[in-house]
Amino acid sequence: MTATVAAPTMVETLLTKAKDRTAVFGVVGLGYVGLPLAMEIVRAGYRVIGFDVNQRVVDLLNGGRSHIQDVPGATVADAVQAKTFSATADLSRLKEPDVISISVPTPLSKTKDPDVSYVLAATESVKRALRKGQLVLLESTTYPGTTRELMLPALEATGLKVGEDFFLAFSPERVDPGNERFNTRNTPKVVGGITPNCLKVALALYQPAIETLVPVSSPEAAELVKILENTFRSVNIGLVNEMAIVCDKLGVDVWEVIEAAATKPFGFMKFTPGPGVGGHCIPLDPHYLAWKMRTLNYKTRFIELAGELNAEMPVYWVGKVVDALNEQGKAVRGSNVLLLGVAYKKNIDDIRESPALDVIRLLELRGARVSYHDPHVATIKEDHITMSSVPLSAETLRAADCVMVITDHSAVDYKLVQRHARATVDTRHILSREPQGGDRA
């Protein structure tokens, strides 16, 4: 009598594919999060299919070029040539990968409510293609409950059972654009699964691509981890921004106070003030939690106050431009104001939620003629603002009635600024740091 060998379970099949690298990954959304993740997965020995609704991005990547500053074009070209990466706008091909990672935008509405329409659209596409033996991972930052309350019911409506037929988990992205020390591979990755099998499969499949994995008990815990990280930053930035205003009113140098406080070897973490906060994380993420808590009849007072403080900083700094022009006997209306840097942080090309956009609008509303120089951002086409970067020269600086530092990029000659600018408003304290010009590290 011949013994019957039981067919491997979906869990066992995926664990085997993780071990021998035969699993195929699909990454939905090939932006600042998805493309670096896709390249690390390729580097780990997997094949990746990238999905994006923007055909221009698809064609660019399939041509071996990159649209993301942190991902060299040569890295994409090598993966395309080796046939370990390809991009497509055909979402019906989502049935092909064994792992589907969703990295789509999660913006806020004008009323600061989460807009999960991109997540829902991606989930619907996955639902239409879902088959047995697939792991679905949401990486987009969102409010606690999104994975279980929105994605799970949609995917289980196919008749497949989570934890047995398919697997679902949440793993928040922790991308820090422009960070030369920490990248997708060496930044610890938090993972929370709907079931123990979901977590087990997700950890096994990610392990070859990520140095450190941090399992947590549920998707809700993983969703909250990312929000806590950025709420922590938002609240502390809000605190130090308010301290800048306090010091200004007291006639004290806030930077001197911060540097002195930072000498304490315990109990203090250094944050610095600026023109506001930008990017897709700090200005948005805390509002996901605030919205969720409002649905539970709780007001997140720290979070909302920090958001208000940070949002008001462009107004404060535009007031400093007004003061600088008044000292020259000039009105804002008709004055030339040159902004240095419009990216939301130094040495990157990302202007999402940048406070520079608010500064431009506020100055133009007052009648100023605004221009900007940014070595990383050639043009701005956002929120009814259309501008191009101007060259930084002695002539450009002398033509400006006031030069305002918004972003302290390294590739700016600040000595040139100090020599030729008539008046300056420095939101980053870069002009007082004895800069080394274009050679600064």
- 281 classed as catalytic: yes
The torsion angles phi and psi of 279, rounded to 5 degrees, stand at 85, -175
Kindly list the catalytic residues.
281
